[in-house]
Amino acid sequence: MKYLAIFLSASAGLLAAPPPREGAKYDREAAKADYRRPDTVPFPDNNKYTRARADLGKTRFFDPRLSASGAISCASCHKPQFAWSDSAATSSGVPGMPLKRRSPTVLYMAWADSLFWDGRAATLEEQALGPIQADVEMN
């Protein structure tokens, strides 16, 4: 969904842009600059990066003990081998519980301004609690 939003935003920008003047050259580097990822990762003032926090986050991401069943971690649905998403049409939550949506990738989410498919979380810190607390996901 995030990529769809990016695509639609980019497409809308292209459609809204005036057509190039006759004989005008396409500036490829300028176009690439519009889509270049920022040089720095944004961190909230109350959750600045430290190596210890990064290590803890990585540990928790792969830790199934955060789920009620002790069998599901964040990485159960956001699999490194599938570009941090999954290969299923829809994901599975607590063992055997089919979910309504597939898991989006977690790549580049530091720059996202809305999270979850419906955009209900505004920050990664807010989003991280959702699957852990949802009775059909990690419970």
Helix (H, G, I), strand (E, B) or coil at 79: strand
Whole-number Å distance between alpha carbons of 8 and 2: 10
Are 127 and 103 in contact by the 8 Å Cβ rule? The answer is no
List CB contacts of 9: < 8 A, sequence separation 6 or more.
Answer: none
Query: Which position among 22, 125, 126, 137 bears the catalytic label?
Result: 137
Whole-number Å distance between alpha carbons of 66 and 133: 10
137 is catalytic: yes
> Annotated catalytic sites, by residue?
137
